[in-house]
Structure 1
Amino acid sequence: MTNDFYCDEVLSGNTEVDKVHETENVLAYHHTRPAYQVHIVAIPKKHIPSLTKVEEHDLGLFSELMEVVRTVAEKVEDKHGACRVITNLGRYQDSKHLHWHIVSGEKLI
Protein backbone atom coordinates (compact mmCIF):
# COMPACT_ATOMS: atom_id res chain seq x y z
CA MET A 1 0.00 0.00 0.00
CA THR A 2 1.42 3.34 -1.05
CA ASN A 3 -0.71 5.42 1.34
CA ASP A 4 -1.94 7.43 -1.66
CA PHE A 5 -5.73 7.48 -1.65
CA TYR A 6 -5.79 9.82 -4.64
CA CYS A 7 -3.82 7.56 -7.01
CA ASP A 8 -5.02 4.25 -5.55
CA GLU A 9 -8.72 5.12 -5.33
CA VAL A 10 -9.80 8.37 -7.01
CA LEU A 11 -7.62 8.58 -10.13
CA SER A 12 -7.80 4.81 -10.71
CA GLY A 13 -11.60 4.99 -10.68
CA ASN A 14 -11.94 2.59 -7.72
CA THR A 15 -13.76 5.31 -5.75
CA GLU A 16 -16.34 7.46 -7.54
CA VAL A 17 -16.30 11.16 -6.69
CA ASP A 18 -18.60 14.12 -7.22
CA LYS A 19 -16.51 16.34 -9.50
CA VAL A 20 -16.54 20.11 -8.99
CA HIS A 21 -13.95 21.15 -11.60
CA GLU A 22 -11.68 19.22 -13.94
CA THR A 23 -8.93 20.04 -16.40
CA GLU A 24 -6.63 17.77 -18.36
CA ASN A 25 -4.20 17.62 -15.41
CA VAL A 26 -6.20 18.54 -12.30
CA LEU A 27 -9.32 17.26 -10.55
CA ALA A 28 -11.37 19.00 -7.83
CA TYR A 29 -14.18 17.08 -6.16
CA HIS A 30 -16.30 16.93 -3.02
CA HIS A 31 -14.34 15.11 -0.30
CA THR A 32 -15.49 11.52 0.22
CA ARG A 33 -15.36 11.96 4.02
CA PRO A 34 -15.95 15.69 4.57
CA ALA A 35 -14.71 17.30 7.75
CA TYR A 36 -16.51 20.59 7.01
CA GLN A 37 -19.96 21.53 5.72
CA VAL A 38 -18.29 22.35 2.39
CA HIS A 39 -15.18 20.26 1.74
CA ILE A 40 -13.60 20.08 -1.71
CA VAL A 41 -10.25 18.52 -2.58
CA ALA A 42 -8.07 19.57 -5.55
CA ILE A 43 -5.38 17.18 -6.80
CA PRO A 44 -2.97 16.92 -9.70
CA LYS A 45 -3.64 13.85 -11.86
CA LYS A 46 0.09 13.15 -11.81
CA HIS A 47 1.56 11.80 -8.58
CA ILE A 48 3.50 14.46 -6.68
CA PRO A 49 4.11 13.51 -3.02
CA SER A 50 3.60 16.95 -1.42
CA LEU A 51 4.07 20.70 -1.75
CA THR A 52 7.70 20.46 -0.68
CA LYS A 53 8.34 17.80 -3.34
CA VAL A 54 7.21 19.86 -6.36
CA GLU A 55 10.12 19.78 -8.80
CA GLU A 56 11.05 22.35 -11.41
CA HIS A 57 9.68 20.25 -14.27
CA ASP A 58 6.28 20.16 -12.49
CA LEU A 59 5.90 23.94 -12.13
CA GLY A 60 3.49 24.18 -15.08
CA LEU A 61 1.28 21.52 -13.53
CA PHE A 62 1.57 23.21 -10.13
CA SER A 63 0.46 26.49 -11.71
CA GLU A 64 -2.55 24.74 -13.28
CA LEU A 65 -3.39 23.15 -9.92
CA MET A 66 -3.24 26.53 -8.18
CA GLU A 67 -5.49 28.06 -10.84
CA VAL A 68 -8.09 25.34 -10.17
CA VAL A 69 -7.75 25.92 -6.40
CA ARG A 70 -8.22 29.66 -6.97
CA THR A 71 -11.27 29.12 -9.20
CA VAL A 72 -12.95 26.71 -6.79
CA ALA A 73 -12.11 28.85 -3.74
CA GLU A 74 -13.58 31.92 -5.43
CA LYS A 75 -16.86 30.06 -6.08
CA VAL A 76 -17.00 28.76 -2.50
CA GLU A 77 -16.24 32.22 -1.09
CA ASP A 78 -18.91 33.82 -3.32
CA LYS A 79 -21.54 31.25 -2.30
CA HIS A 80 -20.70 30.90 1.41
CA GLY A 81 -18.99 34.20 2.26
CA ALA A 82 -15.69 32.64 3.33
CA CYS A 83 -13.41 29.66 2.85
CA ARG A 84 -10.07 28.19 3.86
CA VAL A 85 -7.46 26.69 1.54
CA ILE A 86 -5.32 24.13 3.32
CA THR A 87 -2.54 21.69 2.51
CA ASN A 88 -0.73 19.43 4.95
CA LEU A 89 2.89 18.29 5.10
CA GLY A 90 4.86 15.58 6.85
CA ARG A 91 3.02 13.63 9.51
CA TYR A 92 -0.02 15.91 9.09
CA GLN A 93 -0.44 14.61 5.52
CA ASP A 94 -2.40 11.34 5.63
CA SER A 95 -2.30 10.69 1.88
CA LYS A 96 1.13 11.23 0.35
CA HIS A 97 -0.18 12.95 -2.81
CA LEU A 98 -0.17 16.73 -3.18
CA HIS A 99 -3.67 17.99 -2.48
CA TRP A 100 -5.45 21.11 -1.32
CA HIS A 101 -8.60 21.27 0.79
CA ILE A 102 -11.04 24.09 0.02
CA VAL A 103 -13.38 24.23 3.02
CA SER A 104 -16.15 26.40 4.42
CA GLY A 105 -18.66 26.25 7.23
CA GLU A 106 -18.66 24.45 10.53
CA LYS A 107 -16.33 21.58 11.22
CA LEU A 108 -18.23 18.26 11.22
CA ILE A 109 -15.66 16.08 12.97
Structure 2
Amino acid sequence: MCIFCKIVKGEIPNQTILEDEKFLAFNDINPTRKVHVLIIPKEHYASFDVIPSHVMVEMTEFIQKVAGILDVKQSGYRLITNVGDDGGQEVHHLHFHIIGGEPVGRLVR
Protein backbone atom coordinates (compact mmCIF):
# COMPACT_ATOMS: atom_id res chain seq x y z
CA MET A 1 0.00 0.00 0.00
CA CYS A 2 1.32 3.47 -0.86
CA ILE A 3 2.21 6.02 1.81
CA PHE A 4 -0.66 8.35 0.85
CA CYS A 5 -3.20 5.50 1.06
CA LYS A 6 -1.85 4.82 4.57
CA ILE A 7 -2.36 8.48 5.45
CA VAL A 8 -5.95 8.34 4.16
CA LYS A 9 -6.60 5.22 6.28
CA GLY A 10 -5.19 6.97 9.38
CA GLU A 11 -2.22 4.58 9.66
CA ILE A 12 0.21 7.48 9.34
CA PRO A 13 -0.54 10.78 11.13
CA ASN A 14 -0.67 14.05 9.26
CA GLN A 15 -1.37 17.72 9.84
CA THR A 16 -4.66 18.09 8.00
CA ILE A 17 -5.46 21.46 6.45
CA LEU A 18 -8.79 20.53 4.84
CA GLU A 19 -10.65 17.29 4.24
CA ASP A 20 -13.89 16.16 2.67
CA GLU A 21 -15.27 12.78 1.61
CA LYS A 22 -13.10 12.61 -1.55
CA PHE A 23 -9.94 14.66 -0.93
CA LEU A 24 -7.36 15.45 1.74
CA ALA A 25 -4.97 18.39 2.09
CA PHE A 26 -2.13 18.19 4.60
CA ASN A 27 1.24 19.76 5.37
CA ASP A 28 4.27 18.23 3.68
CA ILE A 29 6.63 16.63 6.22
CA ASN A 30 9.64 18.09 4.38
CA PRO A 31 8.50 21.58 3.39
CA THR A 32 10.56 23.68 1.00
CA ARG A 33 8.69 26.89 1.83
CA LYS A 34 6.67 28.32 4.71
CA VAL A 35 3.56 26.88 3.03
CA HIS A 36 3.95 23.43 1.48
CA VAL A 37 0.69 21.52 1.34
CA LEU A 38 -0.09 18.26 -0.44
CA ILE A 39 -3.54 17.62 -1.90
CA ILE A 40 -4.55 14.04 -2.70
CA PRO A 41 -7.65 12.18 -3.75
CA LYS A 42 -8.62 9.63 -1.10
CA GLU A 43 -9.12 7.03 -3.82
CA HIS A 44 -5.86 5.79 -5.27
CA TYR A 45 -5.04 7.09 -8.76
CA ALA A 46 -1.43 6.53 -9.76
CA SER A 47 -1.05 9.84 -11.61
CA PHE A 48 -2.72 12.72 -13.42
CA ASP A 49 -2.90 10.57 -16.56
CA VAL A 50 -5.39 8.09 -15.09
CA ILE A 51 -7.75 10.14 -12.92
CA PRO A 52 -11.23 10.39 -14.46
CA SER A 53 -11.91 13.90 -15.75
CA HIS A 54 -15.01 14.40 -13.58
CA VAL A 55 -12.94 13.58 -10.45
CA MET A 56 -10.21 15.98 -11.61
CA VAL A 57 -12.80 18.76 -11.89
CA GLU A 58 -13.87 18.09 -8.29
CA MET A 59 -10.23 17.96 -7.19
CA THR A 60 -9.56 21.31 -8.86
CA GLU A 61 -12.43 22.85 -6.91
CA PHE A 62 -11.04 21.36 -3.70
CA ILE A 63 -7.55 22.73 -4.49
CA GLN A 64 -9.06 26.19 -4.97
CA LYS A 65 -10.68 25.95 -1.52
CA VAL A 66 -7.36 24.95 0.02
CA ALA A 67 -5.53 27.80 -1.71
CA GLY A 68 -8.19 30.18 -0.41
CA ILE A 69 -7.55 29.31 3.23
CA LEU A 70 -3.74 29.42 3.01
CA ASP A 71 -1.76 32.59 3.64
CA VAL A 72 -0.31 32.75 0.10
CA LYS A 73 -3.04 34.08 -2.17
CA GLN A 74 -1.85 37.70 -2.06
CA SER A 75 1.83 36.94 -2.65
CA GLY A 76 1.33 34.01 -4.99
CA TYR A 77 2.08 30.30 -4.93
CA ARG A 78 3.02 27.37 -7.13
CA LEU A 79 0.68 24.49 -7.92
CA ILE A 80 2.72 21.47 -8.98
CA THR A 81 2.17 17.85 -9.90
CA ASN A 82 4.76 15.47 -11.30
CA VAL A 83 3.70 12.67 -13.66
CA GLY A 84 5.67 9.44 -13.95
CA ASP A 85 9.23 8.56 -13.08
CA ASP A 86 10.78 10.73 -15.79
CA GLY A 87 8.54 13.61 -14.65
CA GLY A 88 9.93 13.40 -11.13
CA GLN A 89 6.98 11.63 -9.50
CA GLU A 90 8.28 9.88 -6.38
CA VAL A 91 4.98 8.72 -4.84
CA HIS A 92 2.72 7.04 -7.38
CA HIS A 93 -0.52 8.38 -5.93
CA LEU A 94 -1.73 11.54 -7.66
CA HIS A 95 -0.91 14.58 -5.59
CA PHE A 96 -0.55 18.30 -6.04
CA HIS A 97 1.73 20.60 -4.08
CA ILE A 98 0.74 24.13 -3.12
CA ILE A 99 4.00 25.89 -2.34
CA GLY A 100 4.38 29.52 -1.27
CA GLY A 101 5.86 31.94 1.18
CA GLU A 102 9.41 32.29 2.41
CA PRO A 103 11.90 29.44 1.98
CA VAL A 104 12.23 27.22 5.03
CA GLY A 105 15.23 28.24 7.12
CA ARG A 106 15.60 31.67 5.50
CA LEU A 107 16.97 34.27 7.87
CA VAL A 108 14.77 37.30 8.36
CA ARG A 109 16.62 40.53 9.07
Which TM-score applies when normalising by structure 2? 0.81
Match of 1:90 in 2: 84
Bigger fraction of residues in helix: 1
Measure the CA separation in 2 of the matches of 1:83 and 1:72. 12
Q: Is the aligned partner of 1:99 residue 2:78?
A: no
Match of 1:66 in 2: 60
Letter in structure 2 aligned against 1:84: R
Match of 1:52 in 2: 49
Higher Rg of the two aligned structures: 2
Bigger drift between 59-68 and 44-53 goes to 59-68
Count of residues in correspondence between the two structures: 102
Q: Of the candidates 5, 10, 14, which is equivalent to residue 7 of structure 2? A: 10
Q: Is the aligned partner of 1:42 residue 2:36?
A: no
| RMSD across aligned positions (CA) | 1.8
| SS class of match (1:72) | helix
Gaps of 5+ in 2: none
Gaps of 5+ in 1: none
Aligned-pair CA distance for 1:73? 1.8
Contact kept? 2:75, 2:101, Cα under 8 Å: no
Deviation digits for residues 11-48 of structure 1, max 9, x if unmatched?
A: 12121111111111001111122222211000000000
